[in-house]
Amino acid sequence: MKIAVLCSGNGSNLQAIIDAVKKGYIPAEIALVVSDNKDAFALSRAKSAKIETLVLNPKDFKGREDFDKEIVRHLRKKGVGLVVLAGFMRLMSPYFIKEYKDRVMNIHPALLPSFKGTCGIKDALEYGVKVTGPTVHFVDDKLDHGAIILQKAVEVKDDDTEETLLERVHKEEHRIFPEAIKLFVEGRLKIEGRRVRIG
Ligand code: GRF
C-alpha cells in the first residue's frame, strides 16, 4: 500500500513512520510527503529518506477546497491508499474527507474527546488532569472527532512543564502512530460506528 504523510512542522512523527517502514514494521511505502509550509523540517527528513515531497502554499489557492483538490490530484496520481496527518495544521475540507473516507488518520496529543484543538498538551496541564496521552483517530468532518483507533495513557507529574510532558507524550505518539498505520495497512481495522475494532 502507498501512504502519503502530510506535515506542517518538525515531523518527528513522520520520522517515526519512516523508521518503521524502513525496519519493515509497516509493510507499505511512503509515496509522498506533503507540506503547506516550505520551511517545515519534516521536508528535510523526507529528503534524507529519499521520499518525494510536495509543497503547496495555501495562499496560492482560492480556498480550502481548491487546495485540497490539488492534494487529492497528486495523491490519486500516486495511487495513495492511506493519508496520514502528522502535525498537519490545517482542517481538511469535506471534499477531502469524502474522497478519502475512512482512509485519513490523525494524531492528537491528548486523550480525545478531551482537549481538542491545537494546544492539547498545554490545555491538559492547565486543567490539572493526572493522566493524558496521545490519540490516533480516523478523520471525519469535525475537528479531532473521528473514530478512535489507539490511545496511550501518560501520567502527568507534579513537576511537569509543557516541555517535559510533551516529551513523554511524543515518545508514545512515536509508538502508537506507526502501530495504527501498520494495523490499517494489514487490513486489521474495522470501523463500526464510533468504534474501531482491531482484528
Ligand atoms: C504532535 O504532537 C501531534 O500530536 C500534533 O502535532 C504534533 C506534531 O509533531 N498533531 P511532529 O511534527 O510530528 O514532531
Q: Which atom of ligand 1 is nearest to the CA of 16?
A: 13
Please give the number of the atom of ligand 1 that sits closest to the Cα of 170. Answer: 2
Q: Which of 108, 137, 170, 174 is catalytic?
A: 108
74 as an active site residue: the answer is: no
Ligand 1 atom with minimal separation from the 85 CA: 10
What CATH number is attached to the domain comprising 81? 3.40.50.170
Average pLDDT over residues 89-109: 97
Q: Whose CA is nearest to atom 5 of ligand 1?
A: 87
Q: Which pTM value belongs to this model?
A: 0.97
Question: How close is the Cα of 69 to the center of ligand 1, in Å?
Answer: 24
The count of structural domains within the chain is 1
Calpha distance 184→84 (Å, rounded): 11
pLDDT digits (tens, 9 = 90+) for 116-172: 999 999 999 999 999 999 999 999 999 999 999 999 999 999 999 999 999 999 999
Q: Are 30 and 3 in contact (CB under 8 A)?
A: yes
Cα–Cα distance measured from residue 189 to residue 114, given in angstroms and rounded to the nearest whole number? 23
* Predicted local distance difference test score (pLDDT) of residue 48: 98
Ligand 1 center to residue 108 CA distance, Å?
Answer: 7
What domain range is 35 assigned to?
2-198
Ligand 1 centroid, distance to 34 Cα (angstroms): 15
